[in-house]
């Protein structure tokens, strides 16, 4: 395959990209197309590595309304509602919903997803379903699974054994939820046990950590402590970290360098944080999202996750990581040119670092996975939620869409309405 005349995320334009045997063989201006190569005319549009979702719940997705909707809109009613739904789940329905979501993902150029999977079910029904889904979507999507004790590692009977069983079955990452344990001490203990388990098995860690508006929820400090103590730098992620939004600034000033020293990754989930957090506030209402620009400035890798799509916690969403990044941009007021680029990176390269994806990127030797966006720059892609014109995986086209145009033309230009042009 030869992709001709693309613009890259770093601003280089007029770039051709040559694919051989599923990898990027060359990148530069005016490359020759080998005989019989499939030529993709990029037309100057933006060629990006695929979107990566660093935090999702594929076992719950597309279950909105089953058996009822979340009336309060809170995290805790969502957890209770998921508890009502769990006994009704069947493996067939879980697989069908997850595969339907994966279709959406591919169409949106989202080709790598880290999904938490609830292990607080002695049958491990969702674990087995998502392992099956991981196998079936492997040609299209890197699906990484996290063993997630939704009801608490120490709080839910049998959770530890089920988590270990899930890892034995092939689940990739160790999960947890320290702020949901019965006490802060139990939360601290759960972080220690989970990090030690990951260190023993050579696995990564990704905890739902401090997903609360309580500024005293400080399990991220313990997570950084054990990551550093056990030599797990670069392999441990704190997801949500919403309590950091409400923490005392002096405490955060101590915490940020400790997180950077421990090589923690941070994942914010802007759509979910802005809807679930601050629910008990009067006005002014807190936004609840963690301190993204400050974490980045401290040297912490920050990614954005979708977290939920049409499930007990969130009735909206469509696998569109540009929507996720746009919400993150707005909530964190990341409006400078450099900050908008950081928001784009949070759903591409930074998220790939969270997952530890091999061969990710648009450089020679990388996997030939990319998406052609109908935009001229990352900021424009965010502004337009740009159409995904072509989605490629391993040098094969998985999805195509026509350019988004309409024929109404009040400005009197010769072509159809072009959202990428402006008169100024
Ligand atoms: Fe989550």
Contact predicate 256/222, CB 8 Å: no
Distance 82 CA to ligand 1 centre (A): 13
Pairing of strands 51-56, 46-48: unpaired
Distance 284 CA to ligand 1 centre (A): 26
Does the pLDDT value for residue 104 go beyond 70?
yes
User: Which tens digit of pLDDT belongs to each residue from 116-138?
Assistant: 999 999 999 999 999 999 999 99
What average pLDDT is seen over the chain? Answer: 96
Distance 208 CA to ligand 1 centre (A): 6
pLDDT value, residue 415? 65
Distance 260 CA to ligand 1 centre (A): 22
Ion ligand 1 — residues with CB under 5 Å? Answer: 307
Contact predicate 237/54, CB 8 Å: yes
**Burial class of residue 251 (count of CB atoms within 10 Å of its CB; 0-12, 13-18, 19+):** middle
Distance 12 CA to ligand 1 centre (A): 36
pLDDT value, residue 185? 98
pLDDT value, residue 293? 98
pLDDT value, residue 421? 77
* pLDDT band at residue 171 under the 50/70/90 scheme: very high
Residue 380 a catalytic site member: no
Distance 267 CA to ligand 1 centre (A): 10
- Name the 3-class secondary structure at 209: strand
Distance 367 CA to ligand 1 centre (A): 28
Does the pLDDT value for residue 409 go beyond 80?
no
Distance 313 CA to ligand 1 centre (A): 9
> What CA–CA distances, in Å, run from 167 to 117, 163, 171, 187, 267?
11, 6, 5, 21, 22
pLDDT value, residue 420? 80
Decide which of 421 and 220 is more confident.
220
Those residues with Cβ within 8 angstroms of residue 292's Cβ, 6 or more apart along the chain or in another chain: 266, 268, 302, 328, 332, 334, 346
Does the pLDDT value for residue 424 go beyond 70?
no
> What CA–CA distances, in Å, run from 341 to 119, 177, 345, 349?
36, 31, 6, 11
Does the pLDDT value for residue 88 go beyond 70?
yes
Distance 307 CA to ligand 1 centre (A): 5
User: Which tens digit of pLDDT belongs to each residue from 63-83?
Assistant: 999 989 999 988 889 989 999
User: Which tens digit of pLDDT belongs to each residue from 34-56?
Assistant: 999 999 999 999 999 999 999 99
The fraction of the chain above a pLDDT of 90, given in percent, is 92
Structure tokens at 213: 């508006």
d(C-alpha 349, C-alpha 302), whole Å:
10
Distance 364 CA to ligand 1 centre (A): 34
d(C-alpha 66, C-alpha 86), whole Å:
10
pLDDT value, residue 417? 76
Residue whose C-alpha is closest to residue 14's, from 28, 25, 1, 24? 28
The fraction of the chain above a pLDDT of 70, given in percent, is 98
Distance 408 CA to ligand 1 centre (A): 42
Does the pLDDT value for residue 408 go beyond 80?
no
Q: What is the pTM of this model?
A: 0.97
Residue 146 has φ and ψ, to the nearest 5°, of: -115, 125
Distance 282 CA to ligand 1 centre (A): 25
Does the pLDDT value for residue 369 go beyond 80?
yes
pLDDT value, residue 73? 86
Does the pLDDT value for residue 411 go beyond 80?
no
Distance 315 CA to ligand 1 centre (A): 15
Distance 225 CA to ligand 1 centre (A): 22
Handedness of CA 230, 268, 296, 359 (dihedral sign): positive
pLDDT value, residue 414? 60
Where b means 16+ CB within 10 Å and e means fewer, 192-201 reads bbbbebbbee
Structure tokens at 319: 């696998």
Residue whose C-alpha is closest to residue 241's, from 262, 270, 263, 261? 270
Structure tokens at 175: 């999960």
Active-site residue (options: 211, 261, 358, 363): 211
pLDDT value, residue 423? 72
Chain centroid to CA 208: how far? 13
């Amino acid at each position: 395959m030869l992709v001709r005349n693309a613009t890259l995320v770093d601003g280089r334009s007029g770039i051709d990209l040559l694919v051989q045997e599923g990898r990027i063989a060359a990148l530069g201006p005016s490359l020759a197309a080998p005989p019989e190569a499939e030529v993709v005319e990029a037309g100057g549009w933006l060629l990006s590595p695929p979107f990566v979702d660093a935090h999702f719940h594929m076992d719950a997705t597309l279950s909105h309304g089953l058996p009822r909707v979340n009336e309060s809109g809170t995290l805790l009613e969502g957890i209770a509602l998921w508890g009502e739904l769990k006994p009704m789940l069947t493996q067939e329905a879980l697989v069908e919903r997850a595969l339907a979501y994966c279709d959406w993902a591919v169409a949106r150029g989202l080709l790598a997803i880290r999904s938490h999977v609830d292990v607080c079910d002695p049958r491990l029904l969702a674990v087995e379903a998502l392992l099956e889904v991981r196998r079936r979507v492997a040609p299209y999507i890197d699906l990484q699974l996290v063993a997630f004790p939704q009801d608490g590692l120490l709080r839910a009977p049998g959770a530890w054994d089920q988590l270990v069983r899930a890892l034995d079955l092939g689940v990739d990452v160790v999960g947890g939820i320290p702020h949901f344990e019965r006490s802060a001490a139990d939360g601290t203990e759960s972080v220690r046990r989970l990090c030690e388990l990951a260190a023993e098995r050579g696995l990564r860690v990704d905890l739902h950590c401090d997903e609360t508006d309580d500024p005293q929820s400080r399990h991220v400090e313990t997570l950084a402590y054990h990551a550093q103590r056990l030599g797990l730098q670069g392999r441990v992620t704190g997801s949500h970290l919403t309590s950091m939004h409400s923490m005392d600034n002096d405490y955060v000033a101590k915490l940020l360098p400790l997180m950077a020293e421990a090589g923690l990754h941070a994942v914010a989930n802007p759509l979910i944080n802005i809807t679930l957090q601050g629910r008990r506030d009067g006005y002014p209402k807190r936004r609840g999202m963690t301190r993204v620009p400050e974490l980045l400035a401290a040297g912490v890798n920050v990614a954005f996750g979708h977290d939920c799509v049409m499930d007990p916690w969130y009735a909206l969403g469509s696998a569109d990581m540009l929507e996720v990044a746009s919400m993150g941009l707005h909530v964190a007021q990341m409006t400078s040119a450099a900050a908008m680029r950081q928001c784009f990176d949070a759903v591409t390269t930074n998220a790939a670092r969270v997952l530890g994806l091999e061969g990710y990127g648009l450089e020679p030797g990388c996997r030939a996975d990319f998406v052609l966006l109908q935009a001229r720059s990352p900021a424009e892609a965010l502004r337009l939620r740009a159409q995904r014109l072509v989605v490629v995986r391993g040098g094969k086209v998985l999805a195509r869409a026509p350019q988004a145009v309409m024929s109404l033309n009040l400005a009197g230009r010769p072509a159809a309405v072009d959202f990428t042009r402006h008169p100024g």
